[in-house]
Chain A
Amino acid sequence: MPLYGGTWYADWGGEDACPCAADAYSGLVVPPPVLEKLCASAAGAPVTWEHSAVPAVREALAGTERQAAIDHGQTAGSVKASWICKNTGHAHVVFEIPDSLPMVCAMIDAKILQYLSATHIVGSTEMIELSLTTAPARPGCNIESRVSSITEYITLHPP
């Protein structure tokens, strides 16, 4: 199954407007300790298409949101590993797309789908889903490339 590496939490540098406290309350930005825990909990989270799991997550009971996202029926893959780069502080991820979804891989390879967007519950430290999207809520969250192994991508962005 093909593996892809990318960034799901970068910084707001450059021409993007700096975030404010309201963005933290909405969960758009998170404190570093929460970011670390989100990375630690990322493995096993479902990869979805444009936050397709959000309606199921909304209906789920507290504490069962991830399972609801996994069970929602439109999962496009799963997260294999996530960590924070030592040099940049960005959160990186390696996820796999099953062989049964070649068109998704083709869209990613063609840069039609080139961004990532992670979802979590504010106040919790579990990643609910990692979504493939064309319009990420956070800047700099790009799918970098297809990778041969997790180790290969970790070497590029050492934790």
Chain B
Amino acid sequence: MVNPSDVSSATAPAADAANAPEAPAAAPAAPSAEAAAPPEMSELEACLAAYSAANPVDGRKLAKHIANLQRQYESTKRKASELEDHARVDKDVVRMQLQQLLKHLSPEVTKQYCIDDGNLDSQILSPKNGIAHNAVHRVIAACNATFMSAAPAASAAAPVAAAASAAAASASAAEVDSASSAKRQRTASPAPVAPAMQLGDGDDADMLRRALAAQYD
């Protein structure tokens, strides 16, 4: 028969020794593998295990709650990672589009607005959103300055070009067909003057004038 005291001292360490993962291979003859067993669970898990051992039902509820929290945390972390990837792609697209715009701007303008190639890339890819926004605004401002100032100049130049082309056209046309060009020639003449009204004695105005003269006389 086995001595209960021997069993008591042998059973628990034996169980603990078997619980140690590396104990069989690393320290088969270790008297107490419990000390050699590395803590493989977190402090929270250990406390939860100890609490659950004394309060099994509440411990299970608590464990389920913690598991839910962990699932939510993992889900949130995954979503954040996805959004980060999307944001990175969006930034790259914006950066490429802005670089396309820069090709239409003169070097003086890009230098003036601090949006030359090297600057723009670093600013758009900056982790600080404010810097990226500011860079985009400066590109827009540079585009406005370039394209909006170019529009009036073009419209002013247009009549000159039109006149020049018209003159050239008329000269060539005169050579081809003088009769048709003569039709287009204008002669400056004063606007026709309306003939003065010839008021006779019997007119109403004359009668009114006379009546007034008679009254003031």
Q: Which residues of A are in contact with B by a Cβ distance under 8 Å?
A: 10-13, 18-35, 50-51, 54, 57-62, 65, 84, 87-90, 117, 119-124, 128-129, 131, 133-137
Let me know if B19 is at the binding interface, CB within 8 A.
yes
Provide the residues of chain A in CB contact with B25, threshold 8 Å.
61-62
Given A33-B67, A135-B7, A136-B11, are A27 and B19 neighbors across the interface (CB < 8 Å)? yes
Let me know if B105 is at the binding interface, CB within 8 A.
no
B11 x A133 contact (CB < 8 A) = yes
Contact of B49 among A29, A89, A129, A131 (CB under 8 A): A29
A137 x B50 contact (CB < 8 A) = no
Main secondary structure of the interface of B (DSSP, over half): helix
Let me know if B163 is at the binding interface, CB within 8 A.
no
A24 x B49 contact (CB < 8 A) = yes
B4 x A135 contact (CB < 8 A) = yes
Q: What total count of A-B pairs have CB within 8 Å?
A: 153
Provide the residues of chain B in CB contact with A18, threshold 8 Å.
50, 53-54
A60 x B24 contact (CB < 8 A) = yes
How close is A116's CB to chain B, nearest CB, in angstroms?
11
Cβ contacts B6-31/A at 8 Å (1 or 0 each): 01101110111111110111001000
Let me know if B170 is at the binding interface, CB within 8 A.
no
Provide the residues of chain A in CB contact with B92, threshold 8 Å.
none
Let me know if B213 is at the binding interface, CB within 8 A.
no
B41 x A24 contact (CB < 8 A) = yes
Q: How far is the CA of A58 from the CA of B22 in the complex (A)?
A: 9
Provide the residues of chain B in CB contact with A25, threshold 8 Å.
37, 39-41, 46
Residue contacts A-B, CB under 8 angstroms, 17 given: A13-B54, A19-B50, A21-B43, A24-B49, A26-B37, A30-B52, A31-B45, A32-B48, A33-B63, A33-B67, A51-B10, A57-B24, A58-B24, A89-B60, A90-B56, A131-B11, A137-B16
Provide the residues of chain B in CB contact with A137, threshold 8 Å.
11-12, 15-16
